[in-house]
Chains A and B, each alone.
Chain A
Amino acid sequence: MLQDILVTGLVNGGVYALLAIGFSLIFGVARIVNIAHTAFYMLAAYCFYALLVKANLGFVLSAVIAVGAVTLVSVVCYRLVIEPVREHEAAVLIATIALALIFQELMLLTFGGHYLGIPSTLEGMVRILGVSIPYQRLLILVVAAAALTLVWFVLYRTRLGLAIRATANDLEVANLMGMNVNRVAMATVAISVALAAVAGVVVAPVFVVDPFMWLAPLVTMLAIVVLGGLGSLKGSLIGALIIGYVEAITVFALPAGAYLKGAVALLIMVAVLLARPEGLFGVAFEEER
């Protein structure tokens, strides 16, 4: 049983990390609580489905177009919906909820309420410690690791990353120093949503695509980023692994209460918040604000 928990928790944690990192990034940098984050993940999954299954464009081309198109949509949404109300956090929250619901209804209108399946990018499975793991899940882990590395590289090894960190550190000073903070925020939104879109493309083949698929991961993702510390990428990664393991332990220790795995994850989040309100890894640059 221990090996089951170890492997299952790691794989599921990887899936969650992919979603949580993007959400955390946009909050840490632009203070935008983007509730539509998982709705973009849903959009990418639908886009990937349409291109791969309906248009037969192949995995690589479908994935590239899906990620590109959804990222473009996010930039347009930022300019039209988020930027005008960015100074008002509550308004941003409401606007992104509205965006998510609009996407949901659009998909419902276009594809109906049918559950759609996407073929696995990689077929087959491997046994690790006696536990069967499909290759697609390992791919998710690899992509999650690659995405994290890439985000780290962009943030700490490029001029854009320097601008993003400066903006996150102090928006007003960055503005006074001549940085176009709106453009930086837009770039951050694009990176963040691109991560969600990548998650949609690699995760959707192990899940079921439907217009409401954004809701369940939204709750889990919120639990992860609050647990790890809002805005902290490292916190998101560790939070994702913790939640992945907590869920696996819940299922194995309490089979008849498997449906409680989400609730247990949220309970742990509340407990951590009570003991440490800033989460496990509160953002360092936030402290200077």
Chain B
Amino acid sequence: MLRSIVVALAGTLLAAGAHAQTIKIAILGPMAFVQGENHWAGAEMARDQINKAGGIDVGGRKMMIELVRGDTNEMQSVSDATNTVERVVTRDKADFLIGGFRSEAVLAMQEVAMDYKKIFLGAGAAHSKLGINVEQNYDRYKYWFRVTPPKDVDLVRTTFAVLATVADQIRKQLGKPSPKVAILAEKAVWVEGIVAASQKNLPAMKMEVVGLWQPSAVATDVTAELAAIDRAGADIVFTLLSGPVGIVVGRQMGERNMKAIAFGINVEAQKDEFWQAAAGKANYVSTLDTYAEVQMTPKTLEFVRAFKERFGKAPTYNAGTHDAIQLLKTAIEQAGTTDADKLVPVLEKLSFVGAAGVIEFDKRHDPVWGLGKSTGIAVQWQDGKKVPFWPPQVPGMQSFKMPAR
């Protein structure tokens, strides 16, 4: 009897010891959707790379990474997302949180994470408010850092830079000094600032805005909108689309043989599945993106190729969980601890070369925007392949194409 008790006690102590040797990172995302799949895939890659190399050196002690899968179901329910954060913190005892996708959900998840003073590395939501919280109430929100994507305002800066490149090509190829731009933006909070900025700035960039069309983010048909855009004689359809309407726009533009070129933010067009979802009709559709087989940093090519080899498709920006975990490793090793309060100042000063760019944080804990830092890239669908074309100075970029007229 006594022997059994001793054996059980030893087993319990061993298990507790094993737990102390791991750092638990909760990966939060809508796991039934592409976004969550990429969150998890990027994290798995980082975990395997780090654990294979011996783990994370925490003040001279090697600790392995253990991932906790947190399905937020945030596409359907924000409360499911906050419940998931509660669960991974209280039941699964996660040390760190990484992920999130929809800004509405991540804003709510941020609150729960801050309640528990857990470092939360964002890998999906772009809304500025997430960073503004840090600036306005530092003591509460200092545990939040956005790894990817750039905040909405910075996305606009990148978008305008690419738009200028596209407009230049139209001027040269079509001899139109003021290309006509139709703004096709889904009705959502995140597009409001971008739409206002576009209407104000595009004329100054020598582009004529011919109208604004705002379908629902889940619209299944945009034939009326596209017919009106055709009538307006648009050369560029400036898209601001995060929902499935992005697929509908790509497909129906192709079906109508529209001569206008679609460029902007089209989240669905960032996915490898886009071409199939648009039934192979979405030629020339272009969008901002994060990863391609180009040399944004010395790590980009290696990461993208390894990801494709392992998962059979290219990563989307949500696979930035990979950079987030590697960044966390660097910070923990520098700080020599997993204590959140001690890690915050280390993260704030870090300059980390990731696969998507060089990550440095500003006072809002947003990634610093700029060429050579964190801008993202632009890609265009050409005959079933996603071709990167911006920034043109990055090795591996290809040329942007226009439909035959």
| Contact in complex: A117, B277 (CB < 8 Å) | yes
| Contact in complex: B268, A8 (CB < 8 Å) | no
Q: Is B224 an interface residue (CB 8 A)?
A: yes
- Chain B residue at minimum C-beta to C-beta distance from A209: B277
| Contact in complex: A1, B32 (CB < 8 Å) | no
**Stretch of B106-114, B140-148, B211-219, B340-348 lying at the A interface:** B211-219
Q: Measured between alpha carbons, how far is A205 from B268 in the docked complex, in Å?
A: 18
The size of the chain A interface, using a CB distance under 8 A, is 43
| Contact in complex: A12, B223 (CB < 8 Å) | yes
- Chain B residue at minimum C-beta to C-beta distance from A135: B255
The size of the chain B interface, using a CB distance under 8 A, is 40
Q: How far is the CB of B273 from chain A (nearest CB, A)?
A: 6
| Contact in complex: B247, A115 (CB < 8 Å) | yes
Q: Measured between alpha carbons, how far is A257 from B225 in the docked complex, in Å?
A: 11
**Stretch of A145-153, A247-255, A271-279 lying at the B interface:** A247-255
- Chain B residue at minimum C-beta to C-beta distance from A215: B218
Asked whether A108 and B276 contact (CB < 8 A) given A113-B75, A134-B256, A251-B228, the answer is no
Chain B residues, CB < 8 A from A11: 223
Within 8 A of B (CB), among A113-131: 113-120, 125, 131
Q: Is B167 an interface residue (CB 8 A)?
A: no
Q: Which of A132, A137, A207 contacts B248 (CB 8 A)?
A: A207
Q: How far is the CB of A7 from chain B (nearest CB, A)?
A: 8
Within 8 A of B (CB), among A175-219: 205-208, 210, 212-213, 216-217
| Contact in complex: A117, B276 (CB < 8 Å) | yes
Chain A residues, CB < 8 A from B33: 112-114
Chain B residues, CB < 8 A from A259: 186-187, 214-216, 219
Asked whether A210 and B187 contact (CB < 8 A) given A11-B223, A256-B214, the answer is no
- Chain B residue at minimum C-beta to C-beta distance from A123: B255
Q: Is A68 an interface residue (CB 8 A)?
A: no
| Contact in complex: B216, A125 (CB < 8 Å) | no
Chain B residues, CB < 8 A from A119: 279-280
Q: Measured between alpha carbons, how far is A108 from B14 in the docked complex, in Å?
A: 40
| Contact in complex: A207, B220 (CB < 8 Å) | yes
Chain B residues, CB < 8 A from A247: 224
Contact with A along B322-346 (1 / 0, CB 8 A): 0000000000000000000000000
Contact with A along B271-298 (1 / 0, CB 8 A): 0010011111000000000000000000
Q: Which of B37, B186, B215, B220 contacts A208 (CB 8 A)?
A: B220
Q: Is A4 an interface residue (CB 8 A)?
A: yes
| Contact in complex: B213, A258 (CB < 8 Å) | yes
Q: Which of A116, A125, A258 contacts B255 (CB 8 A)?
A: A125
Chain A residues, CB < 8 A from B131: none
| Contact in complex: B212, A256 (CB < 8 Å) | yes
Q: Which of A114, A120, A210, A217 contacts B279 (CB 8 A)?
A: A120
Asked whether A258 and B223 contact (CB < 8 A) given A115-B273, A119-B280, A132-B257, the answer is no
- Chain B residue at minimum C-beta to C-beta distance from A220: B220
| Contact in complex: A251, B255 (CB < 8 Å) | no
Q: Is B99 an interface residue (CB 8 A)?
A: no
- Chain A residue at minimum C-beta to C-beta distance from B34: A114
Residues of B within 8 A of A (CB): 30, 32-34, 37, 75, 186-187, 211-216, 218-221, 223-225, 227-228, 230-231, 244, 247-248, 251-252, 255-257, 268, 273, 276-280
